[in-house]
A and B are shown apart, each in its own frame.
Chain A
Amino acid sequence: MSRPLSRRNFLRRFVMSNGEIASANKGNVMVCIFLRGGADTLNMLAPYADDRYYKARPTLAIPKPKSTQTPDGCLLDLDGFYGLHPKLAPLHPIFLENRLAFVQAVGSDNTSGSHFDAQDQMEHGEAYLKPMGGGWLGRHLHSGDHRDQTRSPLSAVAIGSVIPESLRGAPSASAIDALDDIKLKGSEETCCALSKSLQCMYGAEIGILNQPGQSTLKLLDRMHNLGTKPYNPSGGAEYPRTSFGKGLKEIARLVKSEVGLEVACVDLGGWDTHFVQGSLTGLHADNLDYLAKGMAAFDKDLGNFRDRVTTLVMTEFGRRIYENGSLGTDHGRGFAMMLIGNRIKGGQVHGRYPGLESTQTDVLGPGGMSVRIDYRSILAEVLTGVLGNRNIDKVFPGFEPQPLGLISSRITT
């Protein structure tokens, strides 16, 4: 860390030491939503103008748009070619405001067809069978502009009880359900004595308990000073009462309380729809409903903070083009990534449509939409264009990102 201080860094430190809010606190936040299980892009962003879509999915396909106004039992037209599943209607206005973009035919080179292998690879930001150590967000936090600053214990937060692989190796990461839960429960003096004693033990720990122990103690301290006020979402935002909805609400709360949040991760599971996944309604449609209502509420709640928050929605792979014998879909390949934010060039579907050419019994790898864009290109573009990371080679060593023009010039840093 003997890197000479640039003038900007010097100024930033100067500002910090004078008790101002550190620039990291004023910085941008990236929210990563991971749809676990392989979400079915073809029934979210349906290529209704391609007849093969309806042939491959006789029972699952969503009917063509009837009018652009009401999503009544049919797709919502986006651009004359793609239509949005009606359960994603809450996100349509954001698309129309050019703040929501899709990138089509994204994926990794993973051909294992395994959820776990494909998720791990994607969260690690690796190429297939080339393990790298740590997660892509972990490496970003180590290599970004603010890497030398003392980080807030709330710089990287995952909703739930597990730190996701993408945050592996982050300088500090916390898994939380709700901010209100972050406290020791006992008499003031016992808790105080306990913390001091634990500081002594976890501080001396060598191995994987040291950092989480110290982060947890710092977090307790921070929350103790912050106090807990009840949180009321702005703009009349109503989050769904699911753990996903509650998670997004906590993230909005963290953003607005300016506690140094840089990246937040939240999962939505249940996308492994091999069996009777449904069409306009059913299993898959319910998931879309949770997703859309949660994200729309989050967007509304952010209000003036929208300039700072960029949300990515990804999954480990798409599903097959054709439906299986039990009215579901098996594991496929390419999918569409979703991006939301004032800094995103939205209102369009980026990436060329790959077609639905895949053969019926694909024996070389799971059949699905082909992958045209390596997922890392998108992550890299967002890290650079939105979070100002100039060291992408440290995040994805040996990978040459392909720029896609996803960043809007509406806001300048």
Chain B
Amino acid sequence: MKVARRRILQASGIIAGALPLVGCEGVISNVADGLENPIPDETLVSSNKQIDQDFHLLSRATFGPRPGDLAYLKETGKAAWLKEQLHPESIDDRVGNLRSRRFETLELEAGDCCEFKREVLRRDLCRHALLKAVYSKRQLFEVMVSFWSDHLNINIEKGDCMYYKAAGDRLVIRKHALGKFQDLIRASATSPAMLVYLDGDQNKKEKPEDIPNENYARELLELHTMGVHGGYTQHDVFEVARCLTGWRVHDKFQRGGVFFEPKWHDDGEKKVLGHVISAHGGQSDIDKVVELACRHPATAQHIATKLVRHFVADKPPSKLVTSVAKTFSHTDGDIKECLIALFNSKEFDDYRGSKIKRPFQFIASALRATAADTHAHDPLIDYLTKMGQAPFQYPTPDGYPDRGEAWVATLLWRWNFALALIGNDVPSVKVSIEKLARSTGALKGETADPNKLMAHFLGRLPNENEKRALNIYVAQKSGKQQSQNLSQKLSQTTLAKARTDSGLVSVMLASPAFQRC
């Protein structure tokens, strides 16, 4: 979207004028809204009974549609839209950058973060992740960032990981999120955060009797590349661990700097996955191991399975997995090509509304759909913590689960979030439901048609049962028992009041259909 020069000037005028008056964050909100109206005058909503195909793409390839996104995708066309999203650098993301740029700790070298308190680093990382998910226009990129952050999970609470994660987020995950898989794994292998998290920096053969620390070697094969039943043996784990001995992280001077310590390296011959790695390879052993693991056919299968599970269905259709795995192998692990194959498949279109949103996605999608204004302070992040998905805090290296079953126990918190968000009861988060209702056509003058708003949230019109459920709410709130001839028995004003009651929007966000995508 082009921004007129006048708009920018207007925006900077707002900065100059408003700075002394309101807090800095208010200014950012104003400037961002000046760059682009968060709720357009008219918002296109689906009028289908089935989930709109484009809405479906937005539900999976982004953190959920914002008002206006559906119209934009329809205008642009799926192919061009995907191309744009797969080349995030081509997208003007001033709003996203403006909203998420105030975190200096995210820009620092690994070692420099040690100057900050852990709470500050944790908070910055979480806020940054959520703000990017909610406001960045480079949505598919952000979705992949979140996907790889789970795939190469780092728990920031362990050791010095808190200090090194920001650099890892930038130089491992974000740098390679849409690049080549092998580059991503290679970057992760010697990133300070991963070396600390999985004890790679303690894996040594200093004395002849030293036994290698297998922690990272095992997860490299089991989680990061081949998968638990990918065909490696326990002996392979041991041999990979030998290859990886000697990589260390400076912990005093130049803290966070990674270096290779030849004295700690086991320089003998190794045999990994049937290939001999000759003696005296030194620090090149790691390159060979990463290459062998990434090019193994089990890796293509494992990554394809995970991608299909994430974007298509909890039980990944095997035909699609095979085809994405083929693309992965043919393109030497080109992530973009895998995503194109995936989004253009018939299976992708078939599985609409079948995934359960994870808490992070539930919250991000609710904030996006309502065009909420937020700077993601603690009260908002606390909801993620309560629901068990605070960013970068999953304790074990397998990352937050990607199957719906793992998250269905969080409904109560989702319902409470829906109540609080719509009631403007989450400190630091503001929504304007009336504006949204007018934009979607759910509110025209005094007439209310909640179905339109529901269609905005679900990508389809509510079904008969959902309409009944909305009516139950309206009837309860207007103090009457539900009856067959509801509208006749209630006075118009009571009914209108109940229908425009913002609590009705909480019902929509708490509905089972909004938990799915």
Residues of A within 8 A of B (CB): 36-37, 111-117, 129, 158, 160-163, 168, 173-175, 177, 181-182, 184-186, 189-194, 196-198, 200-202, 204-205, 208-210, 212-213, 216, 219-220, 269-270, 272, 274-276, 322-326, 328, 330-331, 360-366
The 5 closest A-B pairs by CB, nearest first: A161-B388, A325-B210, A193-B476, A326-B202, A175-B409
24 contacts between A and B (CB under 8 A): A111-B234, A117-B228, A161-B410, A162-B401, A177-B386, A181-B412, A185-B420, A189-B477, A190-B506, A192-B476, A194-B473, A197-B473, A197-B507, A198-B507, A200-B469, A200-B472, A201-B469, A208-B356, A216-B412, A274-B202, A275-B199, A322-B211, A361-B211, A364-B234
Cβ–Cβ contact A162 & B409, under 8 A: yes
Bound Cα distance A156, B388 (Å): 19
Residues of B within 8 A of A272 (CB): 215, 396
Cβ–Cβ contact B408 & A198, under 8 A: no
Cβ–Cβ contact B211 & A194, under 8 A: no
Residues of B within 8 A of A198 (CB): 415, 469, 507, 510-511
Cβ–Cβ contact B477 & A366, under 8 A: no
Residues of A within 8 A of B484 (CB): none
User: How many residue pairs bridge A and B at CB < 8 Å?
Assistant: 183
Q: How far is the CB of A343 from chain B (nearest CB, A)?
A: 30
B340 within 8 A of A: no
Cβ–Cβ contact A324 & B213, under 8 A: yes
Residues of A within 8 A of B413 (CB): 161
Residues of A within 8 A of B476 (CB): 189, 192-193, 196-197
B496 within 8 A of A: no
Q: How far is the CB of A56 from chain B (nearest CB, A)?
A: 11
Residues of A within 8 A of B425 (CB): 185
Cβ–Cβ contact A205 & B211, under 8 A: no
Cβ–Cβ contact A365 & B409, under 8 A: no
Residues of A within 8 A of B511 (CB): 198, 201
Question: Contact check: which of A163, A200, A324 meets B211 at CB < 8 Å?
Answer: A324
Cβ–Cβ contact B469 & A274, under 8 A: no
Residues of A within 8 A of B466 (CB): 201
Question: Contact check: which of B214, B409, B410 meets A274 at CB < 8 Å?
Answer: B214
B124 within 8 A of A: no
B115 within 8 A of A: no
Bound Cα distance A364, B237 (Å): 11
Closest to A323 in B: B211
Cβ–Cβ contact B408 & A163, under 8 A: yes
B423 within 8 A of A: yes
CB-contacts of B189-238 with A (<8 A): 199, 202-207, 209-215, 218, 222, 228-229, 233-235, 237-238
Cβ–Cβ contact A275 & B213, under 8 A: yes
Cβ–Cβ contact A326 & B204, under 8 A: yes
Bound Cα distance A111, B388 (Å): 30
Residues of B within 8 A of A324 (CB): 210-214
Q: How far is the CB of B361 from chain A (nearest CB, A)?
A: 15
Q: How far is the CB of B399 from chain A (nearest CB, A)?
A: 10
The answer to whether A116 and B398 touch (CB under 8 A), given A193-B477, A208-B404, is yes
B406 within 8 A of A: yes
Extra contacts besides A200-B468, A208-B405, A272-B215 (13): CB < 8 Å: A113-B237, A114-B222, A129-B229, A161-B388, A162-B409, A184-B412, A197-B470, A198-B507, A272-B396, A274-B199, A275-B199, A363-B233, A364-B234
The answer to whether A113 and B234 touch (CB under 8 A), given A184-B419, A185-B419, A198-B511, is yes
Residues of B within 8 A of A (CB): 199, 202-207, 209-215, 218, 222, 228-229, 233-235, 237-238, 356, 386-388, 395-396, 398, 401, 404-413, 415-416, 419-420, 423, 425, 465-466, 468-470, 472-473, 476-477, 503, 506-507, 510-513, 515-516
Cβ–Cβ contact A328 & B199, under 8 A: yes
The answer to whether A194 and B503 touch (CB under 8 A), given A189-B476, A331-B214, is yes
Q: How far is the CB of B146 from chain A (nearest CB, A)?
A: 18
Closest to B503 in A: A190
Bound Cα distance A110, B30 (Å): 58
The answer to whether A274 and B388 touch (CB under 8 A), given A113-B234, A182-B412, A269-B395, is no
Residues of A within 8 A of B398 (CB): 115-116
Q: How far is the CB of B454 from chain A (nearest CB, A)?
A: 11
Bound Cα distance A168, B404 (Å): 12
The answer to whether A205 and B388 touch (CB under 8 A), given A112-B228, A186-B423, A325-B210, is no
Bound Cα distance A184, B206 (Å): 58
Cβ–Cβ contact B218 & A161, under 8 A: no
Residues of A within 8 A of B209 (CB): 325
Residues of A within 8 A of B205 (CB): 325
Q: How far is the CB of A200 from chain B (nearest CB, A)?
A: 4
Question: Contact check: which of A168, A184, A200, A326 meets B416 at CB < 8 Å?
Answer: A184
Residues of A within 8 A of B470 (CB): 197
Residues of B within 8 A of A117 (CB): 228
Cβ–Cβ contact B415 & A197, under 8 A: no
Bound Cα distance A208, B313 (Å): 13
Q: How far is the CB of B464 from chain A (nearest CB, A)?
A: 9
Residues of B within 8 A of A186 (CB): 419, 423, 503, 506
Residues of A within 8 A of B419 (CB): 184-186, 190-191, 194
Q: How far is the CB of B239 from chain A (nearest CB, A)?
A: 9
The answer to whether A158 and B409 touch (CB under 8 A), given A193-B472, A324-B211, is yes
Bound Cα distance A227, B54 (Å): 47
Question: Contact check: which of B215, B401, B406, B512 meets A330 at CB < 8 Å?
Answer: B215
